[in-house]
Structure 1
Amino acid sequence: MPDVTTSVRRRAYLLWAVAALAYAVDLGTKLAVVAKLEGRTTVSVLGDWLVLRVQRNPGAAFGMGAATTIVFTLVATAVVVVVIRYSRRLASTPWAVALGLLLGGALGNLTDRVFRTPGDFQGAVVDFIAVRDFSVMNLADWAITCGCGLAVVLSFRGAPATGTTGASAEAGAREA
């Protein structure tokens, strides 16, 4: 049976790898989309069901809360801090993936809020994946959605997210 500390460390590395990949893909696509598509007409991917259309969003999902951008910046910052704290005591590999997706997505949108116009932690997020009759999102949003969905499933299944002592650490070590 692997050492519990080694298992927790491996899961933390997995969380960081998933987060880095989600962040890099999100940032890369946003840079490419802004450079190549902003100010141009939509690009059809799957007819009118899925198109690429650049849109700056100062609010949250579906454009809600556009006047409270700073609140979303603070929430994203809090999510990043909490996930980093959890990373030191992960009890399972699926939780490492879920939290990695959440961290990567939160960092992607937080980067927009900090560095994009108008700045001062109130930048608008670059959205570009338009699903008909639904929303315009980016890959950070998709990472957050998938990470949260996985976290909900894991919670309903009773899988512990953290724990480095007792039964949950042993269960996490067996799973790794």
Structure 2
Amino acid sequence: MALVDQGTKAMALGQLSEEQRIPLIGDLLGLQLAFNPGTIMSLGSNSTWVFTVIGIAAAIVLFYAAWRATSMAWAIAIGFVWGGAVGNLIDRLFAPPGFGHGHVTDFLAYGNLFIGNLADIFIGIGVGLGILQMLRSHRSQLRSRGLTPDLGHADSSTMLGKRES
């Protein structure tokens, strides 16, 4: 995923400009080059080195977590987050203006809200998959303890509020 992210950023650097937006879906989604020193919507733009350190720590922790994942579903979810984190970390380490202070290359313009990249999408997918896995795990634990009804097997009497005497 980090390689796909870096490949799309390289294409964006070669084909797009900061001044012109290319619409893909009207005003909702377009292509426009941007360089982000901070996080989403450029928050923390004066702390690029802090995000570099956090990115390095996150990459190490996520790699270890994926290695120790208890299921394939968790490994996939963590892998998406790791791939996105590493994709943006590569920019922070090696992109201008300098080592550890690099600005992340963004090119997916979401209306007038913000401009992101595939790494951001990968992180979002991974977080979403992780949340789904947590919900599945929690539901399974409750069901194994008999604390939740199995909604998939309701009959018409329970659906209509009738009870057996």
Which TM-score bucket, shorter chain as reference? Answer: 0.7 to 0.9
Match of 1:105 in 2: 84
2:42 counterpart of 1:67: no
Cα deviation digits, residues 33-91 of structure 1 (max 9, x gap): 00111345111111111110100000000110000111111111111111121233221
| Structure with greater helix share of residues | 1
Percent identity reads 37
Give the SS at the match of 2:47.
Answer: helix
Match of 2:73 in 1: 94
Q: Please state how far the C-alpha of 1:134 moved relative to its aligned partner.
A: 2.9
Normalised to the residue count of structure 2, the TM-score between the two structures is 0.79
Larger Rg computed on CA atoms: 2
Match of 2:129 in 1: 150
Measure the CA separation in 1 of the matches of 2:82 and 2:89: 10
Alignment of 1:1-176 (within 5 A): 22-39=1-18, 41-158=20-137
The answer to which structure, 1 or 2, has the higher relative contact order (CA under 8 A, 6+ apart) is 1
- Runs ≥4 in structure 1, deviation > 4 angstroms? none
Flag structure 2 segments of 5+ consecutive residues without an equivalent: 139-165
Flag structure 1 segments of 5+ consecutive residues without an equivalent: 1-21, 160-176
Give the SS at the match of 2:32.
Answer: strand
Normalised to the residue count of structure 1, the TM-score between the two structures is 0.74
Measure the CA separation in 2 of the matches of 1:42 and 1:88: 40
Measure the CA separation in 2 of the matches of 1:152 and 1:87: 15
- Report how many residues are paired: 138
